[in-house]
């Protein structure tokens, strides 16, 4: 048996088809000035072909898959995506192929450096676009993924968004890849089509050969080559249980998120693009708890204008209608190489010049965003959330800039929601420790557990050597969460959570017991979270949380939560 990371639930039986990675050698050539226009035309023709292919694909898909491909198409059609490539041809006189390689790689690097898992995953879409454009320039032949044999299990180094969209899903019974994560568009599409998928299988394209008979468990990440009858029966039993669970989860689609003893909470979705709002609604999200506004800044050579931002936020407001959508202001800094900001490299960017610190130091940039959000608030129920707040002074300074923007719009007779809610992220221990004071000067909190854990236990979450120390079960983290919730409630404001812990069924009973009001998560986790909440008793969870707050180790906490959930 082999083991990877399950990213899409389900059981699959079938025969392997390996998608071999194209080996390219991109030759660097210097062209004459007279050839520049020709190389630019070759580049634009390749892009047009990729765009045309994508638009044709979109005519044959619908629902979540169409939403994902629409987001992909938006990236593909963004002029700023190819500006580096065009400049490499115009200024450095590179041939189109080499210009694509260096130009796209610079954009990919920006996204890969982001500490936000969702946004970092978008780098794979840009890599996919680069490879498709190179394929057109080099006139490569491609495999017909729309004509597969029944019961095919795809094995690839990485299955790209465009490749996944081409798949003949009725004949695909599983996906195995060496690379990828649960936030990739491929994983999301696999879950949409209920195709079991496993990633992080080292050297999968070498371990298997075409035609191998395998069975996979997309929940556990287990892969069985030439499964025995006993293994088949075990998996078939699990498959039946998963189908029963899926049927049961559908019962919670139109229900309230409420505990057995009557405590109502909100289940929101985290999104990274305006088109993700449609996906959130289809997954019965009651609002958007986190819109990562960085998508507007990451693939551009220039600062997005107020109008660019207004249109994007307006789209979200109109999609969500009367449901709240919380927009996090620019959370970017020294760890992201935005050329137009001319940021200096920092020894420790996670403790450096980023997020609200950068915005307060650059009020012109900050005002453009705040004015755009305010204008868009006239079209729906938007809220503003400031990230990386560590002190009362920062909160007051941010609110002062917001008030200046309101006065400007008033003077211009521009409409906006006069009562727009303003909140902060609680992701730095200092903010959690003075939560009672901060709560007196804002409308809501949202706990960002990903960074709160990192800053509390002094562990960079991407560092594999010490990753075992990065845990949401650490008693200190739990006490800070409690302080944030209690601080909010003292001033009668709500406290939500938009970190990954909010969607974890094992952690939800603890959060209910601590009094969390709003849970924001990947939208595909919402029905499962609602089922968990609807089957909990708030008073019992409160006793559980009181017990856990007395514990001294993460191991004890995790063990106790597992016991509680299993019983």
Provide the token pair at 326: 């919380």
Contact partners, residue 341, CB within 8 Å, separation at least 6: 358
Provide the token pair at 254: 């139109």
Q: Which helix (H) or strand (E) holds 65?
A: helix 63-77
Q: Catalytic site residue 498?
A: yes
Catalytic, out of 185, 193, 359, 474: 185
User: 368 in helix, strand or coil?
Assistant: helix
Compute and round to an integer the Cα radius of gyration of the chain: 24
Q: How does DSSP classify residue 21? A: P
CA–CA dist 466, 478 (Å, integer): 20
Q: How does DSSP classify residue 552? A: -
Tokens 């195995």 belong to residue = 176
Catalytic, out of 359, 405, 495, 498: 498
Contact present, 538 and 512 (Cβ < 8 Å): yes
CA–CA dist 175, 196 (Å, integer): 6
Contact present, 495 and 502 (Cβ < 8 Å): no
Q: Catalytic site residue 185?
A: yes
Half-sphere exposure of residue 215: CA atoms within 13 angstroms, side-chain side = 16
Contact present, 473 and 558 (Cβ < 8 Å): yes
Q: Where are the alpha helices (DSSP H) in 377-507?
A: 392-411, 429-433, 435-438, 449-457, 475-490
Please, what is the end-to-end C-alpha distance for the chain in angstroms?
30
Provide the token pair at 78: 């963004």
Backbone angles phi, psi at 126, to 5 degrees: -70, -35
CA–CA dist 242, 517 (Å, integer): 30
Residues classed as catalytic: 185, 498
């Amino acid at each position: 048996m082999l083991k990877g990371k399950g990213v899409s639930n389900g059981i699959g039986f079938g025969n392997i088809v390996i998608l071999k990675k194209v080996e390219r050698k991109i030759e660097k050539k210097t062209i004459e000035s007279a050839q520049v226009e020709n190389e630019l035309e070759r580049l634009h023709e390749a892009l047009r072909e990729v765009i045309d292919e994508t638009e044709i694909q979109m005519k044959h898909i619908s629902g979540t898959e169409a939403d994902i491909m629409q987001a992909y198409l938006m990236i593909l059609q963004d002029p700023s995506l190819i500006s580096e490539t065009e400049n490499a041809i115009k200024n450095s006189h590179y041939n189109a192929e080499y210009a694509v390689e260096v130009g796209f790689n610079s954009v990919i690097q920006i996204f890969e450096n982001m500490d936000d898992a969702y946004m970092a995953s978008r780098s794979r879409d840009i890599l996919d676009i680069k490879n498709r454009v190179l394929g057109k320039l080099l006139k490569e032949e491609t495999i017909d993924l729309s004509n597969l044999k029944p019961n095919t299990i795809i094995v690839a180094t990485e299955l790209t968004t465009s490749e996944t969209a081409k798949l003949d899903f009725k004949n695909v019974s599983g996906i195995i890849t060496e690379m990828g994560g649960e936030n990739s568009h491929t994983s999301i599409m696999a879950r949409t089509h209920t195709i079991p998928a496993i990633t992080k299988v080292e050297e999968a394209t070498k371990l298997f050969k075409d035609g191998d008979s395998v069975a996979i468990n997309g929940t556990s990440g287990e892969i069985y080559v030439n499964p025995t009858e006993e293994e088949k029966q075990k998996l078939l039993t699990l498959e039946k249980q998963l189908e029963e669970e899926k049927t049961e989860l559908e019962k919670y689609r139109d229900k309230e998120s409420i505990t057995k003893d009557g405590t109502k909470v909100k289940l929101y979705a985290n999104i990274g693009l305006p088109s993700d709002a449609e996906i959130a609604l289809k997954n019965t999200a009651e609002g958007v708890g986190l819109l990562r506004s960085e998508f507007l800044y990451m693939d551009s050579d220039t600062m997005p204008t107020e109008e660019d931002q207004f249109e994007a936020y307006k789209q979200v407001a109109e999609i969500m209608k009367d449901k709240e959508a919380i927009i996090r202001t620019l959370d970017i800094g020294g760890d992201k190489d935005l050329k137009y900001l001319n940021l200096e490299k920092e020894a420790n960017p996670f403790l450096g010049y980023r997020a609200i610190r950068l915005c307060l130091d650059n009020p012109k940039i900050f005002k453009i965003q705040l004015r755009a959000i305010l204008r868009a608030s006239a079209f729906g129920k938007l809220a503003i959330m400031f990230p990386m707040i560590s002190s009362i002074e920062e909160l007051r300074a941010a609110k002062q800039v917001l008030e200046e923007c309101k006065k400007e719009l008033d003077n211009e007779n521009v409409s906006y929601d006069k009562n727009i809610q303003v909140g902060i992220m609680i992701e730095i221990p200092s903010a959690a420790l003075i939560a009672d004071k901060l709560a007196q000067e804002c409308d809501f909190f949202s706990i960002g557990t990903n960074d709160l854990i990192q800053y509390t236990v002094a562990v960079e979450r991407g560092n594999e050597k010490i990753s075992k120390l990065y845990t949401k079960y650490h008693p200190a983290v739990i006490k800070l969460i409690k302080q944030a919730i209690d601080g909010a409630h003292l001033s009668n404001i709500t406290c939500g959570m938009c970190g990954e812990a909010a969607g974890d069924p094992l952690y939800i009973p603890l959060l209910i017991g601590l009094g969390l009001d709003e849970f924001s998560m990947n939208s595909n986790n919402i029905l499962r979270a609602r089922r968990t909440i609807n089957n909990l008793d708030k008073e019992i969870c409160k006793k559980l949380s009181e017990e856990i707050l007395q514990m001294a180790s993460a191991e004890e906490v995790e063990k106790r939560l597992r016991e509680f959930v299993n019983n």
